[in-house]
Amino acid sequence: MPRLNVQQLFDDRREKLQLTWIAGQKGASRELTHEALNRPGVGLVGHLNLVHPILIQALGASDLEYLANQPPEARGVSLNALCTGETLCIFLCDGVDAPDFLIDACDQHATPLFLSQKRSRVFVNLLRPYLQRELSEVTTSHGVFLDVLGFGTLITGNSQIGKSELALELISRGAGLVADDAVELYQVGPETIQGRCPPLLRDFLEVRGIGVLNIRAIFGETAVRPRKTLRLIVHLERPTDEYFLALDRLQTKSSATAILGVEIPTVTLAVVAGRNLAVLVEAAVRNHILQTRGYDSTKDFIDRHEEIMREQPDGSANEKALDSFNDTNSFRAYSTE
């Protein structure tokens, strides 16, 4: 189960959030688990709230002013509620200084207290995606994950079918490598899956006959990506006679693959001699982009044909054209040339 402790959070986000650890160092081992994402009634990170539990409290200038203006007895009750219970750690934002009463309370309860130069609203927006990413359930997929034309594209298929060679050609055409062989996929939103590379494999792509290539060293910094949202799966398959017989060439509904409960659009490409798979993958991505914008070229073709059929009731010439377009044997001959 994914876990994240306070020390790791501080080390990972120290520079990005401009953090300084000023109190509660004894609570460095406190940790969050994947269950924290789904606990009802408990917030993961947010502004000061003494009523509903929030695991990571972000305090700004107005919050400190509220605490400072309370009578000593009432402030003690508020600090006790803030530093105990569900609270993992506290961040002071807006560049404010930590008052002595808050430092003392955090040291007393071993609640880590940090200073951040970020505005509280910006801080919350920056920290939430990180926590979601680190605590999300992770699954590993075999394939090559690329940034193709700005879209996260996962290339899958049986071993030795040519995934890495295809990825290398796409990278030479401007695509970016995220991960090869083992792709870590995790959910960052109700309908959003992101992919990243395990640290051991980062920057590397194995191509049979050449060996393990360092893509960053060969193609430069712009040829790799740290992570990408998964938008499309391209599955490579060696076709059989039954494959072409069952192929619906006027299919209007895309297939999909479920990953962590999220349906990801999937395109299957037949691997046969003479086909330029890199061009086909880019075309599949461009077509998917058009579909996300509401345009379906296959449906447009069918609608245009039906409109012509209505204009010419006999429809003889158009029926002949459509029969030719749907001739499976002709398609098989073309695909296997």
DSSP secondary structure, 219-238, as one string: H-GGGB-SEEEEEEEEEEE-
Q: Which residues of 206-218 are buried (b: 16+ CB within 10 A; e: fewer)?
A: eeeeeeebebeee
Distance CA 179, CA 202 (A): 7
Active-site position among 26, 39, 52, 142: 142
Looking at the structure, do residues 143 and 261 belong to the same domain, yes or no?
Answer: yes
* Final residue before a domain boundary, out of 134, 168, 199: 134
pLDDT tens digits for range 51-73: 777 899 999 888 899 899 999 89
Looking at the structure, do residues 284 and 150 belong to the same domain, yes or no?
Answer: yes
- Is 37 exposed, middle or buried, given 0-12, 13-18 or 19+ CB atoms closer than 10 A? middle
Looking at the structure, do residues 280 and 227 belong to the same domain, yes or no?
Answer: yes
CB-based contact 90:83 (threshold 8 Å): yes
* Final residue before a domain boundary, out of 108, 134, 160: 134
Kindly report each contact of residues 297-303 with a partner whose C-beta sits within 8 Å and lies 24 or more positions away, as own/partner: 298/250, 298/251, 298/252, 299/252, 301/250, 302/250, 302/252
**Any idea what the CATH number is for the domain that residue 214 is in?**
3.40.50.300
Active-site position among 3, 16, 52, 249: 249
Looking at the structure, do residues 204 and 92 belong to the same domain, yes or no?
Answer: no
Looking at the structure, do residues 194 and 146 belong to the same domain, yes or no?
Answer: yes
pLDDT tens digits for range 143-156: 999 999 999 999 99
**Any idea what the CATH number is for the domain that residue 33 is in?**
3.40.1390.20
* Final residue before a domain boundary, out of 134, 162, 190: 134
CB-based contact 57:87 (threshold 8 Å): yes
Distance CA 203, CA 218 (A): 10
3-state secondary structure of 264: strand
3-state secondary structure of 308: helix
The pLDDT-based confidence of 316 (bands split at 50, 70, 90) is low
Q: What is the mean pLDDT of residues 135-149?
A: 92
Place of tokens 């090559």: 144
Q: What is the mean pLDDT of residues 227-240?
A: 92
Measure CA 84 to chain center.
34
pTM over 0.85: no
Q: What is the mean pLDDT of residues 210-216?
A: 94
Residue 330 scores a pLDDT above 60 = no
pLDDT tens digits for range 193-202: 999 999 999 9
Residue 319 scores a pLDDT above 60 = no
Query: Domain range spanning residue 76?
Result: 3-134
Mean pLDDT of the chain: 86
Amino acid code (one letter) for 133: R
Give whole-number Cα distances, 13 to 7, 67, 123, 127, in Å: 10, 27, 11, 8
The pLDDT-based confidence of 337 (bands split at 50, 70, 90) is very low
Looking at the structure, do residues 127 and 239 belong to the same domain, yes or no?
Answer: no
pLDDT tens digits for range 97-119: 999 999 999 999 999 999 998 99
Looking at the structure, do residues 147 and 269 belong to the same domain, yes or no?
Answer: yes
Looking at the structure, do residues 156 and 180 belong to the same domain, yes or no?
Answer: yes
Active-site position among 163, 225, 231, 288: 163
Q: Is 249 a catalytic residue?
A: yes
Distance CA 10, CA 243 (A): 53
Tally Cβ neighbours within 10 Å of residue 34: 15
Measuring CA to CA, which residue among 236, 220, 222 is closest to residue 144?
236
How many domains are there within the chain?
3
The pLDDT-based confidence of 278 (bands split at 50, 70, 90) is very high
Measuring CA to CA, which residue among 224, 204, 223, 202 is closest to residue 214?
204
Q: Which of 156-160, 231-235, 281-285, 312-316 shows the lowest mean pLDDT across its residues?
A: 312-316
Looking at the structure, do residues 268 and 187 belong to the same domain, yes or no?
Answer: yes
Looking at the structure, do residues 171 and 64 belong to the same domain, yes or no?
Answer: no
Amino acid code (one letter) for 159: S
3-state secondary structure of 91: strand
Looking at the structure, do residues 194 and 229 belong to the same domain, yes or no?
Answer: yes
Q: Is 142 a catalytic residue?
A: yes
pLDDT tens digits for range 166-194: 999 999 999 999 999 999 999 887 889 99
Looking at the structure, do residues 147 and 104 belong to the same domain, yes or no?
Answer: no
Amino acid code (one letter) for 1: M
What number of helices (H) and strands (E) belong to the chain? Answer: 12, 16
Residue 229 scores a pLDDT above 80 = yes
* Eight-state DSSP code of residue 190: T
Distance CA 167, CA 172 (A): 9
Compute and round to an integer the Cα radius of gyration of the chain.
27
